[in-house]
Structure 1
Amino acid sequence: MTEVDLHNVLVTGGDSFIGYHIVSKLLQTQPTCKISVLDIPTSLPRFPSVSYHDVDISSKPSVLTAIQKIKPQVIFHAACTYSLTLPAEAHSRINTNGTLNVLEAAKKVGTVKAFVFHSSSSVIEDGVSPVINATEDLPVLLAQKQRYPYPLSKALAEQAVLAANGTNGMLTVSLKPASCFGEANEEMMEKLISVARSGRANVQMGDGTNLYDFVYVGNVADAHILAAKALLRAHERAPGEDERVDGEAFHLTNDEPWLFWDFTRGC
């Protein structure tokens, strides 16, 4: 397999959990790559060799201005909100409309060859039915079947990303990780630690036999970079050649399901 180097990369959400790890992995594995980040500042430290653009992705003009300036070859779109406490409007504005803003700017700038979208495995879950040994053949749930704002916002964004495949020379892919854990996780890990410190780690719902999939954030970062390289190689692929990645969506897990309550207490 031909090795592919990344030359000019934009990471949206690079100041937040997933994007931060993508940037870190790029710095380790692509030393000559120009890296730009489009995000609002957070408490995470910034890398001195990375170019940062303080932009809210829900602002279409700001996104377009930044991407026209950067002219990226590859976009890793990881900017989103995960918090389930936010109203539906916030998920729609940031996760769905923000993705549409980045997609539109990517099409207009004309330099983007690979667009890797950070989606979520929750887009196939209805919050009630068990999902066991799920494959990519399971349908993505939209309204009315999807009742929850976060997965609905990600599902609509993923739909737009995959529909944009092949537009203006840009190939797209969607990665759908299970619940992510690891360093700098201010969503799940901090809540688990808070529950333990409050003395409620001995509380559980159900008999504790329910399996759950998790994925380490370093593996997620690796998957994003591998996907980008596959998209770049696909530009040279002969028609009908196997192992197509562009226009597809892939689930990501550690391939080792845990008992949910064992994982939460083990953290």
Structure 2
Amino acid sequence: MSLAGEVCLITGACGFLGERIIKLLLEEEELTEIRLLDRDIKPDLITSLKESQGHTKLTVFEGDIRDPELLRKSCHGATLVFHTASIIDVIGLVEETELHGVNVKGTQLLLEACIQENVRSFIYTSSIEVAGPNPQGDPIINGTEDTRYSCCLKFPYSKTKFQAEQLTLQTNGEFLRSGDKIATCALRPMYIYGEGCKFLVGHMENGMRNGDVLLRTSTKEAVVNPVYVGNVAWAHVLAAKALKDPKKRAAIGGSFYFISDDTPHMSYSDFNHEVMKPLGFGIQGRLSLPLPLLFFISFLLEMAQVLLSPFLKFNPPMNRQLLTMLNTQFTFTYGKAQRDLDYTPRYCWEDAKTWTTDWLASVLPKQREIVRAPKHP
């Protein structure tokens, strides 16, 4: 099934994933138009995309996902939406009202615009964090969409992503103004890595400050299965094709899919080391403190955050939710996506690792300058 003739809107178009989806669409398909919606459009990205746009029209919409009028304009005449825009916050830097406003309210407004403007297909980029882990750190090994798991989401980011996902899936089958029905689905990628991953740069900077030894924040046993950004983008393209297929549309609409690939299962910390080892980085052999003690310290820091909140904003570098996520075995297969979306990883682990390491090598000199720069009072 081809996406030729589609008019596609991508929110978060200049983000880590959004950019890869656009490049893949330009490489693979002959869409009529691709619309880029982002609050901060990168001129360099637009210039590079125009070099490979072919006959596909590129249109830019710059603004906030919470602007209903902007959403109506960007959705007018569109047939397909990839909704990747969201605020990612795993340490509590962003107020919950802001997270809810962008991640939940923004999604709701976008879905309403799609209904009003007759957009037939809507694909939401969810997160593995909507599945857990739960506060008890109960593991999942090679889970599926049917895996039963007791989960109580307490972290604001996880909650808002889950709420937005539910809004998306509940909208499936609603009537458009044209009388047609919208079809929606959600993709739940594992931890996404690859060229442009800011989390990897952050870990690299911390390692530099520690004498080129990466800090261990997860035990070796807490294995997860990261996924390469190119494969996540490919899953989005395949989901769009599947929703366009009349034979598959009804079955896929209203469903969510875990997206992983053939990246080896390992802990977050060991994964960081795997892609940075060729750059000369080592890694701590064990956690800096026993895990129970780290949980206790995180608890004290969270209490301090609550007590200080009337006077100043204090964000602990670690919290119990993040500590649980980093130290829980939590892996999922992509079997359902393979069956329903014809998804198989487009890029192998060896290539993904090489490209990621090469990109990190390209930004290494600049990051060393940042780390060595004197801090001004």
What TM-score results when the alignment is normalised by the length of structure 2?
Answer: 0.63
Q: Which residue of 1 aligns with 2:207?
A: 196
Post-superposition offset of 1:133: 1.9
Q: Which residue of 2 aligns with 1:52?
A: 60
Post-superposition offset of 1:266: 2.0
Q: 1:52 to 1:3 in 2, by over 3 A?
A: closer
Q: Deviations over 1:209-251 (max 9, x none)?
A: 2101100000001000100110010xx22xxx79921110000
1:130 to 139, 143, 164: 139
2:162 to 141, 155, 164: 155
Q: Which residue of 2 aligns with 1:261?
A: 269
Task: State the alpha-carbon separation in 2 of the partners of residues 141 and 45 from structure 1.
Answer: 42
| Larger deviation, residues 255-264 vs 172-181 | 255-264
- Identity between Structure 1 and Structure 2 (%): 26
Post-superposition offset of 1:118: 0.3
Task: State the alpha-carbon separation in 2 of the partners of residues 75 and 253 from structure 1.
Answer: 22
Residues 77, 115 of structure 1: 8 Å contact kept: yes
Post-superposition offset of 1:175: 0.2
Instruction: Give 5+ residue unaligned stretches, structure 2.
Output: 276-377
Task: State the alpha-carbon separation in 1 of the partners of residues 149 and 14 from structure 2.
Answer: 28
Task: State the alpha-carbon separation in 1 of the partners of residues 150 and 160 from structure 2.
Answer: 11
Report SS of the residue matched to 2:9. strand
Whether 1:62 aligns to 2:74 is no
Post-superposition offset of 1:141: 7.8
1:222 to 231, 234, 258: 234
Task: State the alpha-carbon separation in 1 of the partners of residues 215 and 221 from structure 2.
Answer: 14
Q: Which residue of 2 aligns with 1:185?
A: 197
Post-superposition offset of 1:96: 0.7
Residues 115, 172 of structure 1: 8 Å contact kept: yes
Task: Please report the RMSD computed on the Cα atoms of aligned residues, expressed in angstroms.
Answer: 2.3
Larger Rg: 2
Q: Which residue of 2 aligns with 1:78?
A: 84
Report SS of the residue matched to 1:117. strand
Residues 218, 269 of structure 2: 8 Å contact kept: no
Q: Which amino acid aligns with 2:240?
A: A
Residues 58, 93 of structure 1: 8 Å contact kept: yes
Report SS of the residue matched to 1:37. strand
Q: Which amino acid aligns with 1:192?
A: H
For this pair of structures, how many residues does the alignment match?
Answer: 255
Q: 1:64 to 1:265 in 2, by over 3 A?
A: same
Runs (4+) off by over 6 Å = 139-142
Q: Which residue of 1 aligns with 2:354?
A: none
Post-superposition offset of 1:177: 0.2
Task: State the alpha-carbon separation in 1 of the partners of residues 216 and 37 from structure 2.
Answer: 39
The structure with the greater share of residues assigned to helix is 2
Q: Which amino acid aligns with 1:191?
A: G
Post-superposition offset of 1:61: 2.8
Task: State the alpha-carbon separation in 2 of the partners of residues 24 and 185 from structure 1.
Answer: 16
1:99 to 107, 114, 121: 107
Q: Which residue of 1 aligns with 2:362?
A: none
Q: 1:42 to 1:266 in 2, by over 3 A?
A: farther
Q: 1:146 to 1:113 in 2, by over 3 A?
A: same
Post-superposition offset of 1:4: 4.7
Q: Which amino acid aligns with 1:103?
A: L
Report SS of the residue matched to 1:25. helix
Q: Which residue of 2 aligns with 1:118?
A: 125
Instruction: Give 5+ residue unaligned stretches, structure 1.
Output: none
What TM-score results when the alignment is normalised by the length of structure 1?
Answer: 0.87
